[in-house]
Chains A and B, each alone.
Chain A
Amino acid sequence: MSVKQIQEREAALEKSGVETPLYAPRQKIYPQSVKGRLRTIKWVLLFLTLGVYYFLPFVRWDRGLDAPSQAVLVDLEHRRFYFFFIEIWPQEFYYLTGLLIIAALTLFLMNAVAGRLWCGYLCPQTVWTDLFLWVERLTEGDRRERMQNANKPWDLESFARAILKHWAWLMIAWWTGGAWVLYFTDAPTLVYELVTYNAPFTAYLWIGILTITTYFFAGHMREQVCTYMCPWPRIQAALTDEWALNVTYRYDRGEPRGSVKKAAALKSAGKPAGDCVDCNQCFNVCPTGVDIRDGLQIDCIQCGLCIDACDNIMTKIGRPTGLIGYDTDINVKLRQEGKKSLPPSIIRPRTILYAGLIAVIGVTMLYALVTRSSIALSILHDRNPLFVKLSDGSIRNAYTLRVANKYGGAREFSIKLERFDAAHIDVVGAERDADGWPRLKVGPDQTLETRILVSISPDAHPPRSQDIRFVLRDINGGETAIVKDHFISSDEHN
């Protein structure tokens, strides 16, 4: 039910003196199939996006024996995220933050260029609903057939068709959930486990949850998700401006609407006649039940199918296409005033700002990714005791050092103290190299927690607290990492 219909209904109810109910019942929508340029684009996008979603987990990527060979893998158990040649550790999760910011800005950019581009073409809700509608047409027929069947009592054929439709929907939904869990563990192994009923319970649970949500969202709730559940239309409406391209009906060209015969009669009588033949095709094909001729509405996801439908009719009756098309609010206003419309301008301060921000964040992230260290160090000074006095009067501090080797092979590091010559360093359980510095061996893609003891002789008269730097150096690769802490020598606060 469109906003206009709701308003009309409310007005009628108010007049009749009956108390308005709190919500309007849903009016079932039977979108008609349509062919055209935008429909083709939508099919291509559907195949691309769903193809990537369903098959990406099976793409292999060789990382050696110590790491999984799945190209895209969220390994929650071992706390690693793999994306082709990139491996993200939990402490590097800020990359995901960056991606989310880029995603948000891309959404804003799309909105600045052409309104609800995301809603109409790319949103999973739209894509899956599109697929489910296709199944519905295949099994129960197109708009007219389904509308007729809706009012008829059940017979064997309609029952069989309905069974077939729901079965196909559930299969797609099940596959959707199935593909989801494959991103979290080795896909071929999990498929085998699922088939032999040996998979972990969580796998079945998540498949179940996503099967149910997909089946209900794409099969039953459809446009209600967009109109009532999704926050984006509200945010989008606040973010858009008069320069954004929106699916628009050209009032100036279309009105007054009427049949071809009526228009001819009007024209011959010297009266104005519009191009719209009031065939309702734009309304019939709309997946959200919007009549675009009522203007821009919150239900409209701007999928552009009405453009295809209208263009088809205009071509048939020999009138120019584009009665419904992508247009800006500024042009709608200009035409209303009888002025000439302006060509759409994609390069505007707003789009430049969004594109610039995306570029800056993208480049920053790329730089951070390329130059990131394959060693991560963190250090924790013993809190209790802060320092220890030894039998010869020396002072010793203890630290817990955690070394993360983010490299796919075992590495050996030497650990040195920088600018602290008087101190002596010991690592519990570590061997020393020829120069007397302790050595640490860390396995491939692993972390090592070790206890470091630093002591200083009483003759050095250390201050109460001083800075201390540990330098870790890869013996073979030469890569270094530095971590800072303090050396405490006394309880006294001076």
Chain B
Amino acid sequence: MSSTNPNVKMVDSHTGTATTGHEWDGIQELNTPLPRWWLIILWASVIWSFGYVVVYPAIPLVSSFTTGMFGWSSRGDVAAELNSLKALRGPMVNALNGATLADIEKDPKLLTFARAQGKAAFGDNCAPCHGAGGGGSKGFANLNDDDWLWGGKLEDIQATISFGVRSGHGKARDGSMPAFGRDGILKTAEMSQVADYVLSLSGLPTDKGFDKAAGAKIFEENCAACHGPEGKGDMALGSPNLTDKIWLFGGDKASITEGLTNGRGNVMPAWVDRLDDTTIKALTVYVHTLGGGK
């Protein structure tokens, strides 16, 4: 660094611009001050920020913060928006609360509103298991069809949504398929025979030359208690109808044998403590009108 005399204004000979006086290996630093407009904006922003601190929440304190002159908060904005939405929906929500499930379906206006509310709630809460359109998948019931494990009437659907299935709630739907194989109740050969028998109930192809009489006997002794002597199931126990074309876990021998071996007992949560009554009502109507409602 060369010695500089602070009293002499250094000027770069090439550009004619003043320098800062700094020089490294013959390279001088030009003094190009910030543009005036830039400085004005900077200072205006500084002044503005004082007003901002006074008007808006700004300074964090130990367990709170300064709330500003008008107590504004973005959470308050959201709350206000939600409240106005509530007020907007108020009359229809009240009508929904006041009507019975059957009445809702008879009133086109209420039905449209309940279906719209129900669709939104379904997307938020039910779609992860049952699919966006309630189409279900293996182990998760298709809510569009007319086959119901726990009943497809409005009240049945409402109860299932409210208290769930094997959810641990006191009023939950309960009843499960025992693990016949794992618990040693049936031998492998017996399970094969009864699986073929179950397939035959709905006219599905079976292993050639299976002993139908033996299968029927095993069925009667082990399965008929829940699934009924004809295999038509029982909605009180949630035991599926084995004679129809719908299979929650698959309608092939391997799937049936898997169920026989390990049992079945999927869980649906109880929603009564998570959703309000109106939402559950709307959900009930929505599911009921997907097409399979009884």
Interface residue count on the B side (C-beta < 8 Å)? 25
Q: B133 near A428 (CB under 8 angstroms)?
A: no
- Chain-A contact segment, one of B88-96, B162-170, B239-247, B254-262: B239-247
Task: Report how far A396 CA is from B136 CA in the complex, Å.
Answer: 15
The answer to whether A384 and B131 touch (CB under 8 A), given A390-B245, A392-B245, A396-B291, is yes
Task: Report how far A305 CA is from B146 CA in the complex, Å.
Answer: 82
Interface residue count on the A side (C-beta < 8 Å)? 21
Asked whether A389 is an interface residue with its Cβ less than 8 Å from the other chain, the reply is yes
Give chain A nearest CB distance to B290 CB in angstroms.
7
Give chain A nearest CB distance to B51 CB in angstroms.
25
- Pairs A-B, 4 closest by C-beta atoms: A385-B135, A384-B133, A391-B244, A388-B144
What are 17 of the A-B contact pairs (CB < 8 Å)?
A: A383-B133, A384-B132, A384-B135, A385-B134, A385-B136, A385-B142, A388-B142, A389-B145, A390-B145, A390-B146, A391-B146, A391-B244, A396-B291, A426-B291, A428-B111, A428-B291, A451-B291
Which B residues lie within 8 Å of A396 (CB)? Answer: 144-145, 291
Q: A398 near B245 (CB under 8 angstroms)?
A: no
Using CB atoms and an 8 Å cutoff, list the residues of chain B in contact with chain A: 105-106, 108, 111-112, 115, 131-136, 142, 144-147, 241, 244-246, 289-292
16 new A-B pairs (CB below 8 Å) besides A385-B135, A398-B290?
Answer: A383-B133, A384-B131, A384-B133, A385-B136, A388-B145, A390-B145, A390-B245, A391-B146, A391-B147, A391-B246, A396-B144, A428-B111, A428-B289, A448-B112, A449-B112, A453-B291
Give chain B nearest CB distance to A426 CB in angstroms.
8
Q: B131 near A429 (CB under 8 angstroms)?
A: no
Task: Report how far A388 CA is from B112 CA in the complex, Å.
Answer: 22
Which A residues lie within 8 Å of B146 (CB)? Answer: 390-391
- A-B pairs with beta carbons under 8 A, tally: 63
Give chain A nearest CB distance to B121 CB in angstroms.
17
Give chain A nearest CB distance to B245 CB in angstroms.
4
Give chain A nearest CB distance to B150 CB in angstroms.
15
Asked whether A382 is an interface residue with its Cβ less than 8 Å from the other chain, the reply is yes
Give chain A nearest CB distance to B157 CB in angstroms.
15
Task: Report how far A110 CA is from B142 CA in the complex, Å.
Answer: 66
Q: A388 near B108 (CB under 8 angstroms)?
A: no
The answer to whether A390 and B147 touch (CB under 8 A), given A384-B135, A385-B131, A398-B291, is yes
Asked whether A441 is an interface residue with its Cβ less than 8 Å from the other chain, the reply is yes
The answer to whether A388 and B291 touch (CB under 8 A), given A448-B108, A449-B112, is yes
Which B residues lie within 8 Å of A383 (CB)? Answer: 133
Q: A429 near B111 (CB under 8 angstroms)?
A: yes
Asked whether A393 is an interface residue with its Cβ less than 8 Å from the other chain, the reply is yes
Which B residues lie within 8 Å of A449 (CB)? Answer: 112
Which B residues lie within 8 Å of A426 (CB)? Answer: 291
Q: A429 near B132 (CB under 8 angstroms)?
A: no
CB 8 Å contact bits of A441-452 with B (1 = contact, 0 = none): 100000011010
